Chain A
C-alpha cells in the first residue's frame, strides 16, 4: 500500500500531471488561457507520430512472436466486451436511459490515446520497457466498442439506430488511427536506423510537448466540467471512477494470460481502463444523435481521463509490478 501511495505521490508531482492540473485550475478560474486550435492539433499529430514510430522501431528491435497476434485479439475482445459490462453498470448505478447508457458504454470500450501516451511516459520514468506492439493494440481497440454500443441500442433500445453507410470506413480510417498505424509500420520497417535518424525530433522534445498538450487537455476538461456540471449526478460520477479499475482488472487478466512484461501489463491495463473522447464521440454524433453528448464527453474527458492520469496509472503500475514481480 505504501508503495502505491509513494508511486501516486511521485506521479502527481511529475511535470505532465502538474501541467494538466494547471490547465484544470485555469479553466475553473475562468482564465482566458488557451492553446490555439491549430497548435493543439499539431501537438496531437506529433504525439501520435512519435509514439507510433517508437513502437514500430521497438518491434523491429525485438522481433515479432505469437504474443503480438494474441495481444491484438485480446484487445479486440476487450473492446467488444467492456461496453457490455459498462452498460449493465450504468443501468444499475444511474438513471441514464438506454440511449445515453449505450453511448457512454461505447466510450469505455474504446481507448484514450493520450492516457496511453502518458502511461508510456510513466513506465519510462519507472525504468520499465514494454512491448512495442502495444501501439498496434491501442489502434485495434479504438473501433469495436462502437459496434457494441450500437448492438446494445438495437437489443435494448429503439429499433432503427444502426451503422450508417460509410460510418465504419470513417471510424477505421480516422486520422488518428491512420497516423498511429502508419508511423508504427514505418518505425517497424526502418528500425534502429530510422530511429537514429529522427530521434532528436521524436525523443528529446517528447516530454515537453506532452506537457503542453496536457495543459490544453486540462483546459478542455476543466471548461467541459464547468459547463456540464449538471449532468454529473453522483451515480454518473461514481461510474466514471469505478469503471476504469474494472476495465484495468480485465486488462490485467488478459496481460497475465498473454505473459506480457510489467510495462506491457501497465499499458494493457491503461488501455482497458481509459475511455475515448475523440473517435467515439464523433461516431456517436453520427450514429446516435439522440444521446446527450454532455454526458459522455464530461464523463470520459472530465472524470475518467483525470482519474486515470493522476491516480489510475500509478495504481496500475503498482498492481502490475506486484503481480508480475517486475
Chain B
C-alpha cells in the first residue's frame, strides 16, 4: 500500500492553555489536531496526577497534529509563541499516513 511521509507533533501542555494553543494552531492554518487527556506524570516542575485536581490549574492535555513536513515550521512557530513560558513538552516524530490528501 502506498504510504506518505508526514510529521507527528505532540504538545503536552497545561489544560488552561489548551484553547490558546489550538486557537494559535488554527490561525497558522493547522485545522487538524486531536486533544487527549493526560493521566499524570512527572517532570522538572514535579509530580502531578489528574486524580485529585480541584481545578484545571494543575491538569495537562496532549495536543497531537499530523501534518505534511513542509508545514512543520509554521506549526512550531505558532505553538512556540503559546508554550514558551509554560510547563510542557513539544516533540516531533516522523510518521507515515495512508491518505496524504487529508493532511
A24 to nearest B CB, angstroms? 12
Report A-chain residues with C-beta under 8 Å of the C-beta of B86.
285, 289
A25 adjacent to chain B (CB < 8 Å): no
Report B-chain residues with C-beta under 8 Å of the C-beta of A294.
46
| CB–CB B16/A285 < 8 A | yes
| CB–CB B47/A286 < 8 A | no
| CB–CB B46/A227 < 8 A | yes
- Of B14, B17, B58, most buried by chain A (CB within 10 Å of CB) is B58
A130 to nearest B CB, angstroms? 25
Report A-chain residues with C-beta under 8 Å of the C-beta of B51.
34, 37
| CB–CB A34/B52 < 8 A | yes
Report B-chain residues with C-beta under 8 Å of the C-beta of A271.
none
When chains A and B are docked, how far (Å) is the Cα of A123 from the Cα of B22?
A: 46
- Count, chain B residues at interface, CB 8 A: 19
Q: Bits for A215-238, please: 1 = Cβ < 8 Å to B, else 0.
A: 011011001100110000000000
Report B-chain residues with C-beta under 8 Å of the C-beta of A293.
45, 57-58
Which residue of chain A lies nearest to B48 when distances are taken between CB atoms in the complex? A227
| CB–CB B14/A285 < 8 A | yes
When chains A and B are docked, how far (Å) is the Cα of A278 from the Cα of B55?
A: 5
A284 adjacent to chain B (CB < 8 Å): yes
B3 adjacent to chain A (CB < 8 Å): no
Report A-chain residues with C-beta under 8 Å of the C-beta of B58.
281, 293, 297
When chains A and B are docked, how far (Å) is the Cα of A301 from the Cα of B58?
A: 13
Report A-chain residues with C-beta under 8 Å of the C-beta of B8.
none
Residues of A within 8 A of B (CB): 34, 37, 40, 216-217, 219-220, 223-224, 227-228, 277-279, 281-282, 284-286, 289-290, 293-294, 297, 301
